[in-house]
Amino acid sequence: MFPAEFRIRDVAIRPATLLAPMAGVTDTVFRRVIRGLGGCGLIMTEFTSSEGLAREAARTLHYLDFQPDEHPIAAQLFGAKPAVMAAAAALVQELGFDTVDINLGCPAKKVVKCGGSGLLRDLPLVAEIIRAVRAAVTIPLTIKIRSGWDECNIVATEVARLAEDLGVEAIAVHPRTRIQALTGLADWSIIRDVKQAVKIPVIGNGDIHSPMDAERMVAETGCDAVMIGRAAATNPWIFRQMEQYFLLDRGAGNAVPGNNCRDASRQAIGAAAVYDEPSESGRYELLSQYFRSLIESGMPDALGKMKHFACWFTHGVHNGAQLRHLVHSARTPAEVLDRVDSFFAAALTAG
């Protein structure tokens, strides 16, 4: 059965689902969209440079903007200098975040040079960073890791045990190596191995595209929660869909995965009714709301974010390629809004 809740010390995460930190995606506007749609237990900021925070760079500080309705919320930090990471974590606590997370998983070249998955090649330094951050904050501390640098250096279980010993209170595991980046299949057996190696909560991440994938991950690995990244950018409704899907488990007498009672319930109501798919009007409402909120937020690169988000989101829209072209060729945020409004007005009239 999919867990209804898990806890990171005194922070209750309900449902047991997390929005992964994604550069250029999980800003405060997108996070509030996810919160508004429902079904996500914990949201996370974009990964944020500890060095940038140390310099008090305005652009870096902007990554930590959040609103009261985003709680519970975690800030994720990256960096390779223990003292700098500790100072950044202290700032995160001062700003009112519920938890702080250390990024040990990002595969991007510019991040690997100064943190992220590059640290998986230097576990003594990982230990120094965790000790420094743990000493700097009283809020719960978590980490997010990859399985290792490459197939010859799978260190997820070793890192998990090390982290638990040093006071880390939950660990998210993306079971691809840094060399894999986002290619190939995530090896969920690594999540299972980590879960069996530690007592702290383990969060599974990777290749969850539907509620059924999340159900299967929990069944196969025993993980305490699931984290969703790219699928949430293309389908922001996925957390609400998961909530609808798993309500059937509890409505069918706390059935376990594969239980005939639950399966019969789904067959009785029909597969299409297991969870809601967004309508074209719903897609229009969300896209329009998100774009308008970007403009109202005063983000310095609202136009760029509109175009970035359009690359992700419009793959679920009928004639999405046409809409992407309209958005990408626009020169101002106002022009983007006009084109989105006109596109959906024609589409909804034709439909």
Number of residues that make up the chain: 351
DSSP string of 51-85? HHHHTT-HHHHHTT---GGG-SEEEEEE-S-HHHH
Torsion angle of alpha carbons 210, 201, 174, 274, nearest 10°? 0
Give CA angle at 262 (259, 267), nearest 5°. Answer: 120
Helix axes 28-37, 238-251, angle to 10 degrees: 30
CA distance 126 to 132: 10
Q: Is the omega angle on the peptide bond into residue 68 within 30 degrees of 0, that is, cis? A: no
261 a catalytic residue: no
Query: Which among 102, 30, 37, 99 is positioned nearest to 71, based on CA atoms?
Result: 99
- Catalytic residue of the set 40, 106, 261, 311: 106
How far is the C-alpha of 303 from the C-alpha of 211, rounded, in Å? Answer: 32
DSSP category for residue 196: H
For the annotated catalytic residues, the residue numbers are 106
